[in-house]
Amino acid sequence: MTRYSYLGPEGTFTEAALRQITSENDLLTPYGNVTAALEAVRTGAVDKALVPIENSVEGVVARTLDELALGDALVISAETTLPVSFSLMTLPGNEKNEIKKIATHPHAEAQTRAYIAQNYPHAEMIETPSTAAGAQGLIKGNYDAAIAAKIAAEKYGLKILAENIGDNEGAITRFVVVEKPGHLPAPTGADRTSLVAYIDIDHAGALLEILTEFAKQKVNLTFIQSRPTGRQLGHYHFIIDAEGHIHDAPVKAALDGLRKICNDIRFLGSYPRTR
């Protein structure tokens, strides 16, 4: 049995993604936010966490990136993806009531704006920590409807008013399995290596210097994002995903080159990639 934490409450897209890669014997525990889910791994309350890291429409999940880059060391050991389809739901019996307040996560709101503008132009949007939290809040009568995953309606006994209301068909979210350092999956030939490159202070050509080290080794990058360190203006680090495994000679050589030009490098794991 493996103990997992995930972004909760029950009924989130994260839970749906986690159930794709776990068995019935595994223990799945929801946490209120990404930080709490990852902290559960750090304290040993769980073995692994599943958290969202990137959406094909809304881009990065900043809290996940910052936790991996700035928090106590954790590594990614696997990833999975999930097609994202949004549903509008309410309490049974309220189907014909006027909808004045709709609750959902900001990423979901951003991906359903056209539907909301067309069908509920005067509704107030209420921000919640997750889509499932919005669905759960319907039971308390805090608002009239919620936008969430279909699994949330099943979990909380809600009535779905409309399905597939997203503005972009084919939206996908990537999730990562995170655990304490120590386990390194073996190379598969279709891997991804994640790392954080810390520069001493931002300067002209800093990003080019980093990219050059990968280009020299012909290593393809699939993701790069700059984030502030939080210390002061001008201090940044780069979160990078590269094709290949740390045991692959080109990736290892690129990282060796980075160590010569960066203030520090944090290895975030090598693991099989899903896409």
Number of domains in the chain: 3
- 111 and 72 fall within a common domain: no
- 137 and 22 fall within a common domain: no
- 175 and 154 fall within a common domain: no
- CATH number where 108 lies: 3.40.190.10
- 76 and 175 fall within a common domain: yes
**Domain, as residue range, for 250:** 191-272
Contact of 257 with 216, CB cutoff 8 Å: yes
Q: Is 64 inside any structural domain?
A: yes
- 12 and 145 fall within a common domain: no
Q: Is 232 inside any structural domain?
A: yes
User: Residue-wise pLDDT tens for the chain (275 aa)?
Assistant: 999 999 988 989 999 999 999 999 999 999 989 999 999 999 999 999 999 999 887 788 889 999 999 999 999 999 999 998 999 999 998 887 889 999 999 889 989 999 999 999 999 999 998 899 999 999 888 899 999 999 999 999 999 999 999 988 888 999 999 999 998 999 999 999 999 998 866 666 778 889 999 999 999 999 999 887 666 666 778 999 999 999 999 999 999 999 988 889 999 999 999 87
- 100 and 150 fall within a common domain: yes
In this structure, which amino acid lies at residue 193?
A: T
pTM for the structure as a whole: 0.87
Q: Is 250 inside any structural domain?
A: yes
